[in-house]
Structure 1
Amino acid sequence: MLQKAQTGRTLLVASTGGHLEQLSRLRHRFEPATGLVEWATFDDAQARSLLAGEIVHHVPYIPPRGYAQVARAVPTAVRLLASGTFSTVISTGAGIALAFLPVARALGVSAHYVESAARADGPSLTGRLISRIPGINLYAQYQSWSDEDWAYTGSLFDGYRAVPNAAPPVRGRRVVVTLGTMRRYGFRRAVEHLVRVLPEVLEPDAEVLWQVGVADVSDLPINARVDVPAAELHEAITKADLVIAHAGIGSCLTALDAGRCPVVLPRRPELDEHVDNHQNMIARELDGRGLAISRAPEALEAADLWEAMSRTVDRVDRAQPFPLRVG
């Protein structure tokens, strides 16, 4: 009979993108402390950069709603969790959580699912499916929809506040446009409009880093890159006068960490830009807190870019703990 792990190691499980970004930030806030950790995620530039030096178990990519790929990842979850190495599994989703958390519960391993900070109105489809499995500890990052099942113990956004920039630049010299690295969904609509409006607020010799994902923009007058390693992207955002991003949680958090008030452009599922409308939830939440300027790409004007450059973002309560339920 398989036994519960005795070594006390924690397996941190997340799809790449915003899910992995969130888990990496929450890692040191968890209480009780996670101790020795290993990771299960996909193999891409973000994971290789963000988790450099960590023990990482690679799982083949699971796309949104990729239930066949979830099933194919289950044997990997069984192999890792039946080894007796781990006493705790924590996941921030998405589909990879469906492969690992049920296996963890079946093997008597403590399982925790933290819903994304993108979900301001309630749990995601992954969260709803996970909630049907008895014994998995559930966490919301919004007190407004937490309840006896979904505990609220903190949010990634609680540690930021917007303040006026004492000396905003007259025109931008360094700009980062980061539209995520989703392998299925492009966002050409945003790039087309930015090509038109950005020059209105830039110096003639401004440097613009364009990270556009899978969108084909080869006919546009920009030097576009599909993806950028996390360390390089973080450094560019830190030096930027202006950050423009899709409303992905990872991109937004990176900008906020760097003290930037980003302009966020939500993707729309009805235009085949994403699987659902959760980016609009992120954009609405950040705009309401004054931490971002949210606009549809077609509605974006130079005035919005000036406004973003006139604000900075400060960190508060950096070490606020994120308590985990016992069991």
Structure 2
Amino acid sequence: MRGLQHMDSEERPTSAQGDVLLVCSGGGHLRQLAGFAERIGYAPERQVWVTFRNGLSESLLSGRRVIYAPFTAPRDLKNFAKLVLLSRKVFAENTFVEAISTGSSPAVAFLPKAARRGIPTHYIESAARADGPSMTGKIISRFPRIRTYTQYPAWADDRWMYRGSIFDEFAPGAPVDPPHEPRRAVVMVGTQEGFPFRRLFEKVAPLLEGMDVFYQTGDADMAGLGIPPQPSIPHGELKSMIAAADLVISHAGVGSALTALEAGKHPVLFSRDPRFGEHIDDHQKQIAEELSRRGLATHADFDSVTLGDLIGASNRSVQITAPPPFALHPSEERHAGSRPQNDDEDGSPPGSRRHGSGVHSAGGRP
């Protein structure tokens, strides 16, 4: 993540030494937590990550210590049970001075255990949630020892503190000069399985005729569209294609949007609709509306979007700014030598200092 400031050591509310547990699911949750880790000031050598294995995590966390968790889809109880077992192992084999998450299922499996062990614990709700917490956030908020944060001041309260947004890293840029019609485009929908977004490709393919277009299709069925399926692509290659593109079209996922914004692009965002089985709720509409409000993206309407809208977006730009540090609320840290609470579920002690068989550098195999 570029353009980020670090907090001075005397400003930081946490210990400057010791390992920090960073835990989240993939995609936008991972991109956000990586950005906040920089803004908080966690040195890379202190970071121990728990997330899902994919091209994004292997690229973004290169050189970090990573524990790859089993992929767990929304409401996937079978694999969530595996996450709970993994959390017991991680806490038994490692010692952490702080734990932090930007959400989804790994947050529920890990953060309550961290808090029960006396580890200062923080949960930052995703920028996808503009009007209240997600189901994960609602569960986490039931644990009073976990500090919770929203990225929207409109719904901050005594329980949910506002410290800024991941989108504070960007501002509208100057118009493209001279104006042009796009010749190269990237269309992307992320890599989460189980929620195909064929409707996006059906809509934009006719509008992009005559352009050089790369389609990243996820798990959508491309039959009859004349588009070769490309479920995923290494994150570095995708970034290079976006940098070279005149036009970026994307589903309104936080991770994909951030990738476009970091390349200086003003993306055209199509939000998934749960009525068509494209996601479990309409949070992507909230993301697209927020980025449109900030002047960072164009929120496309399926019924009315035109080629002119796409050309207009291709002639706008985004610049990276230096946001203020993300200041975590001070937690009451346990005194040196005090014994943390055992995990209520497995009763295992915190275990030896550090890194048993599950931890390795990103890019290597466990």
Q: Which has the higher contact order (CA 8 A, sep 6+)?
A: 2
| % identity of equivalent residues | 43
Write the mapping of 1:51-130 to structure 2, written as runs, cut at 5 A. 51-130=61-140
Aligned partners of 1:84 and 1:95: how far apart in 2? 21
Aligned partners of 1:301 and 1:189: how far apart in 2? 15
Post-superposition offset of 1:67:
3.3
Letter in 1 for 2:302: P
Q: Which runs of 5+ in 2 are unaligned?
A: 1-14, 332-366
Letter in 2 for 1:156: I
Aligned partners of 1:311 and 1:324: how far apart in 2? 34
The match for 1:321 is: 325
When structure 1 is superposed on structure 2, of 61-70 and 151-160 the one drifting more is 61-70
TM norm structure 1: 0.92
Structure with greater helix percent: 1
Contact 1:81 1:107 in 2 (8 A): no
Is 2:310 the partner of 1:305? yes
Aligned partners of 1:107 and 1:165: how far apart in 2? 52
Post-superposition offset of 1:295:
1.4
Aligned partners of 2:190 and 2:94: how far apart in 1? 36
The match for 2:280 is: 275
Aligned partners of 2:159 and 2:118: how far apart in 1? 20
Letter in 2 for 1:146: A
Aligned partners of 1:73 and 1:125: how far apart in 2? 17
1:195 to 194, 205, 211: 205
Aligned partners of 1:36 and 1:88: how far apart in 2? 10
Write the mapping of 1:123-272 to structure 2, written as runs, cut at 5 A. 123-199=133-209, 204=210, 206-272=211-277
Q: Which of the pair has more CA radius of gyration?
A: 2
Letter in 2 for 1:181: T
Structure with greater strand percent: 1
Q: Deviations over 1:11-50 (max 9, x none)?
A: 1111011101111111110157686111101112221222
Query: Residues 286 and 7 (structure 1 numbering): CA distance in 2 closer, same or farther, change over 3 Å?
Result: closer
Query: Residues 173 and 224 (structure 1 numbering): CA distance in 2 closer, same or farther, change over 3 Å?
Result: farther
When structure 1 is superposed on structure 2, of 33-42 and 244-253 the one drifting more is 33-42
Aligned partners of 2:226 and 2:173: how far apart in 1? 35
Contact 2:222 2:228 in 1 (8 A): no
Post-superposition offset of 1:108:
1.7
Q: Which runs of 5+ in 1 are unaligned?
A: none
TM norm structure 2: 0.82
Aligned partners of 2:284 and 2:94: how far apart in 1? 38
C-alpha RMSD of the superposition: 1.9
When structure 1 is superposed on structure 2, of 236-245 and 78-87 the one drifting more is 78-87
Contact 2:266 2:297 in 1 (8 A): yes
Post-superposition offset of 1:99:
0.5
